[in-house]
Structure 1
Amino acid sequence: MEKSGYGRDGIFRSLRPPLKLPKDENANMVSFMFRDSSSYAHRLALADADSGEKLSFREFKDKVSIVGSGLSQLGLRKGDVVLLFSPNSIYFPVCFFGIVSIGAVATTVNPLYTTMEISKQIQDSKLKLIVTVPELWDKVKDLGLPTIMMGMNGDSKSASSSIISFSDVFTMGVQKSPPEVIIKQTDTAALFYSSGTTGINKAVVLTHKNFMAAALMMTSDQELKGERHLTFLCLLPMFHIYGLGFVTYGQLQRGNAVVSMGKYTFVRMLEVIQEYKITNLPLVPPIAISITKENIVKRYDLSSLKEVITAAAPLGKDIMQECANKIPQAIMTQGYGLTESCGIATIIFPKERNGHFGSAGTLVPGLEAKIVNLETGRPLPPNQRGEVWLRGPNIMTGYFNNPNATKMTLDKEGWLHTGDMGYFDDKGGLFIVDRIKELIKYKGFQVAPAELEGLLLTHPQIVDAGVIPFPDLNAGEVPIAYVVCTPGSSLTEKNFMDYVAKQVAPFKRLHRINFVDSIPRSSSGKILRRELIAKTKSKL
């Protein structure tokens, strides 16, 4: 095997020490999370930067068990799906792990979603129960499902008979021990929705084993260095695999503390780093860009930071270097993963840090990769570009209720076809060049062009539409559209943008509309987005 990890069989293998997964087939992600916690029971597990509340590992473990018991007394059974619809808080992980501890399945949704977007997900996942907060109640109140309300005071009980307060669930849980449920590693723990290029959200099925394997992969470098009891800031949304899988679950199972932030502002982030002496800061590229550009950074004591991690979208070499210069004592790290790989695939190795900028890092332990030529299907050696394929114990089992989409993404040998174009260099560093998939990445959120095209086409005065990404310094990419209107249409760009804005979450809103006579399409009717992108570039 070469220094790159490339073997004669065309497979790249991890250069890190091997992965040690739990042997017991009945191990589940919650018991695994607390496997060593008795030895650090009084240490901080969770802190809430908004409310100031804190939980030690013992308190956290007790609360998860009580919530699991309360939910089972409400009739929740193994395999039932529960929606967590809430901003980050100390109770998000308590509820998430309470749900999965009794073999039920958790699914999440972005708090910015509209009622229409949420109801699609509810129908798809065959939901039994919603857990939410008062400020989001209006979006789910007409969906006809029993709802547990977090942070509800007693006097709002009269709002609806279908609402159960979180404190009532807690009281029920205290009275009885949680039921004995046998959960296998192969059982489903969560459904995370990922935007497909078809514009229809697909539910990624993640098992208990996926989460345990990914968590060990994510923290393998800490294991190697003997690091424990670090403090991670979770300002990334917990409804997303990066916030929930990498930051929350990955770190708590290692004995690290997680400080949650529900309301992000740049200044508040700096205050929280200073106040809680944050050691590890996982970010998305727009926030890393702000660190390089905002002079206010100098006013805060960020000396506790040991590591700044960026993922969810590629971050350029120059920005990484500038960020490293701004926080000189911290190591700059970049990682790459997908919802389908439970949030992890590569991360920069400690020895390479601050020296491998531009790379998304090397393969985590237990994961294999191929770079495949799109024309021939053959695996390629280092320094040649192709589609990135991944295989390992963290890879999803498929898309929920969607055998066709599963077949197109996961082959019979267990390879996940990521849809990302990239290559490995001679040292095993992965470089993501472009997405074969046509998703637009807005601040790490995925926006499917086809979904917006579908919406535009519902307008009576739009005949055809094509949506493409447009580069943006702060967001990475924003969606813009080309539209063909009906003859004599008097509507303006703003009219159409408002029409879409009313029906989608803010991050999916269109930032520009160009009026054209026709949308370029292939003979089979597919939109030739590259032509639209080229057209846009020629006007810049």
Structure 2
Amino acid sequence: MSLGTAIYNDLGMKKGSVMAILSPNCLEYVPVLYGIMMVGVTATTLNPGYTPGEIAYQLNDSKADSIVIHAALLDNLKKAEPELIKPLKHVVVIGDKPENSEHLWYDDLAAGDGESLPKVDIDVKRDIALLPYSSGTTGRPKGVALSNFNLAVNVTQTQDGGLMPIEHGVKQLALLPLFHMYGLLMCGNIGVRSGWTMSILPAFDPVEFLETIQNDKIELMHIVPPLVVFLAKHPLVDNYDLTSIKSIFSAAAPLGRDTAELLAKRLPWVDTIRQGYGMTEMSPVSHLDSDQPTMGSVGVLVSNTEAKFLDPESHEEIEVTPGQVGELCIRGPQVMLGYLNRPEETDATMTSDGFLRTGDVGHMDEKNHLFIHDRLKELIKVKGLQVAPTELEDHLISHPSVSDAAVIARYDEFAGELPKAYVVKTAGASETEENIREWLNGLHAKHKHLCEVEFIDAIPKNPSGKILRRLLRDKEKASQAEKAASL
């Protein structure tokens, strides 16, 4: 409350103004966020890995006039300042306080009097409390306007339906980035509400990650699929005692059945390996698996949420029957207010009857478990037949010589498109690209056969673990152009 009081009274920020947060995970992150929102100021969270240009873009687009920033990132902010439309009014710094600093310091503001917290008239359903930015995989990132009601109701949907533990004192690993909605919900909102004991890591380091699990006896982990692959396949894992882990929850990108089963086999003492599904635009959760998960599924709808499916080609609504594939659409109280200052993009994302078009293609089984196939725009069309890259990637990762993989479409004059795989080999693997291609093709129908496997050092991904296929598509186009020029 002290920070909220200082933001309102000392800094003069009022309801409707915007304050940015630029910091890696740290103890101060959640108190800063709550302090901003409790006095009606909108918080916008930035990726600490952003370049100066990306920082400037979000500060300008969100119209943020002040920022709370970690001391380690001050140089990047300084480099961004020439691109700002207007100078920042206040810069509040988290970290050690140097002498003769021109900035305000978090510790000073947080040490003030919290008893005089102002009474601010907040419309919890309509006022923008949080303004995270979408990943920007299509076009520039967009501000996603979320209300206090959106955020609070999604905590209730996620936890009170029995889909997430509520026991006080559960030891949780807080590695997910708190600027991202998945990390904010599970580690910030639910973790704080439940009184979990959180071990906070600012970034992923293999040794620190495993040592923290072992030494702090972590029981609950919310992670992303690349970390599931790490735990399932990396040789370092065998050097640590991870038997304290009771539950692993994966989200933010699809986790295939084969990968989940590999992890279950390697860590047999883990009671549950579950998935969930959501988007920033849904605050973020719409689906969660139960404590008796269906491998490969992202679970069932959370409470007070509706789903429907659209035909991927005609975009007309289709009947929801087991196995019927379509674009998932969601309606519920957790769905965003809209994109900031982008009414046309908001209208294109929302249907006339209030459903959010997710852009993800999937199906439900007879028990209403949802299975995500892929992004609508990332499906590969081979002679008119759809191929989901994630299906092929999941099988590739199950191969002992493959530590990571990504599949994209390559243009083909006769088939339209053909799937091509980029593969990261495990250390010491002797398999050739052709060996792996032939092995995978033997598992699938002809239209899903890979035209090529190319070894690569690392698969490019965003902070939430989603594959940045556009970078691989650009790499493939450049390769094809080079080949054409040499003919």
Q: Could you state the TM-score of these two structures normalised by the residue count of structure 1?
A: 0.68
Contact (CA 8 Å) 2:287, 2:298: kept in 1 or not?
A: yes
Contact 2:229 2:263 in 1 (8 A): yes
Counterpart of 1:338, as a letter, is: M
DSSP 3-state at the match of 1:127: coil
Give yes or no for contact 1:219–1:251 (8 Å, CA) kept in 2: no
Select which of 347, 356, 361 maps to 2:299: 361
Residue correspondence of structure 1 range 56-135 to structure 2 within 5 A: 65-72=1-8, 73-135=10-72
| Aligned: 1:404 with 2:341 | no
> In structure 2, what is the Cα distance between the partners aligned to 1:96 and 1:333?
28
The whole-number CA distance in structure 2 between the counterparts of 1:188 and 1:269 is 35
Matched position secondary structure for 2:33: helix
The answer to whether structure 1 residue 185 and structure 2 residue 124 are counterparts is: yes
Do the aligned partners of residues 150 and 224 (structure 1) sit closer, same or farther apart at CA in structure 2, a change above 3 Å counting? closer
- CA deviations 1:234-268 (Å, max 9, x no partner) are 10111101111233212222332332111321221
Q: 1:298 to 1:67 in 2, by over 3 A?
A: same
Which string of whole-angstrom CA distances, capped at 9 and with x for unpartnered residues, describes residues 357-389 of structure 1? 111111111211011224161232221111100
CA distance, structure 1, for counterparts of residue 144 and residue 317 of structure 2: 27
Q: 1:291 to 1:225 in 2, by over 3 A?
A: closer
Which of these residues, 340, 360, 368, is aligned with residue 428 of structure 1?
368
Tell me by how many angstroms 1:96 deviates. 0.7
Partner SS, residue 176 of structure 2? coil
| Corresponding letter in the other structure for 2:336 | M
Aligned to 1:4: none
C-alpha contact 1:410 1:416 (8 A) present in aligned 2: yes
Measure, in 2, the Cα distance between the counterparts of 1:315 and 1:224: 19
Q: 1:316 aligns with which of 239, 247, 256?
A: 256
Specify the alignment match of 1:263 in structure 2: 203
What SS does the aligned partner of 2:320 have? Answer: coil
- Equivalent in the alignment of 1:415: 355
Matching residue within 232, 235, 245 for 2:175: 235
Residues 516 and 230 of structure 1: CA distance in aligned 2, closer, same or farther (over 3 Å): closer
Structure 1 range deviating more: 191-200 or 66-75: 191-200
1:327 to 1:197, Cα distance in 2 relative to 1, 3 A: closer
- For 1:222 and 1:228, how far apart are their aligned partners in 2? 15
What do you get for the CA RMSD once the two structures are aligned?
2.8
2:153 aligns with one of 201, 209, 213 = 213
CA distance in 2, matches of 1:227, 1:182: 33
Decide whether the 8 Å contact of 1:334 with 1:359 is kept in 2: yes
Q: Does 1:347 align with 2:288?
A: yes
- For each residue in 1:489-518, what CA deviation from the matched residue of structure 2 results, as whole angstroms up to 9, or x when unmatched? xxxxxxxxxxxxxxxxxx979463544788
Aligned to 1:192, the other structure's residue is in SS state: coil
Counterpart-to-counterpart distance in 1, 2:91 and 2:360: 39
Q: 1:434 to 1:223 in 2, by over 3 A?
A: closer
Checking the alignment, whether the CA contact within 8 Å between 1:222 and 1:228 is kept in structure 2 is no
Change (3 A) 1:226 1:93: closer
Q: 2:421 & 2:140 partners in 1: Cα distance?
A: 22
Report the alpha carbon displacement of residue 400 of structure 1 after superposing the two structures with TM: 0.7
Q: Are the aligned partners of 2:327 and 2:358 in contact in 1 as well (CA < 8 Å)?
A: yes
Distance of 2:480 and 2:182 partners within structure 1: 41
The residue type equivalent to 1:334 in the other structure is Q
The one-letter amino acid of 2:300's match is T
- Alpha-carbon distance, 1:279 to partner: 1.4
Partner of residue 373, structure 1: 311
Query: What SS does the aligned partner of 1:189 have?
Result: coil
8 A Cα contact 1:215 1:245, kept in partner: yes
Shift of 1:322: 1.2
| Deviation (angstroms), 1:227 | 3.6
Equivalent position of 2:188 in the other structure: 248
Whole-Å separation in 2 of the counterparts to 1:83 and 1:224: 30
Question: C-alpha deviations, 1:138-177, integer Å up to 9, x for none?
Answer: 111225312101003241x33xx3x111122224x32762
Alpha carbons 2:163, 2:290 under 8 Å: kept: no
Q: Deviations over 1:17-75 (max 9, x none)?
A: xxxxxxxxxxxxxxxxxxxxxxxxxxxxxxxxxxxxxxxxxxxxxxxx11111111211
Moved more, 188-197 or 102-111: 188-197
Partner Cα separation in structure 2 for residue 510 and residue 226 of structure 1:
40
* Greater displacement, 250-259 / 384-393: 250-259
CA distance in 2, matches of 1:184, 1:315: 38
CA contact under 8 A between 2:296 and 2:371: conserved in structure 1? yes
**Residues in 1 aligned to 2:165 and 2:178: alpha-carbon distance in whole angstroms:** 27
Contact 2:163 2:288 in 1 (8 A): no
* Structure 1: segments with no counterpart, 5+ residues: 1-64, 443-448, 450-467, 475-506, 520-534, 536-540
Question: What are the superposed Cα offsets for residues 53-112 of structure 1, whole Å, 9 maximum, x if unpaired?
Answer: xxxxxxxxxxxx111111112111111111100000010111011111111111111111
Once the two structures are TM-superposed, the CA of residue 326 in structure 1 deviates from its matched residue by 1.9
Could you tell me which amino acid in structure 2 is paired with residue 420 of structure 1? D
Q: Partner amino acid for 2:190?
A: G
Partner of 1:152: 96
Q: Which runs of 5+ in 2 are unaligned?
A: 380-388, 394-407, 409-418, 426-466
Matched, 1:298 2:241: no
Q: Decide whether the 8 Å contact of 1:83 with 1:131 is kept in 2.
A: yes
For 1:210 and 1:379, the matched residues in 2 are separated by 28
**Using the alignment, how far apart are the partners of 1:233 and 1:378 within structure 2?**
41
Helix, strand or coil at the partner of 1:418? strand
| TM-score (ref. length: structure 2) | 0.75
Amino acid in the other structure paired with 1:152: D
Aligned length: 392
Aligned partners of 2:50 and 2:423: how far apart in 1? 23
Which of 398-407 and 368-377 deviates more?
368-377
Distance 1:176 1:369 in 2: 45
- The amino acid of 1:380's aligned partner reads E
Q: CA deviation at 1:217?
A: 1.9
Change (3 A) 1:179 1:332: same
Q: CA deviation at 1:113?
A: 0.9
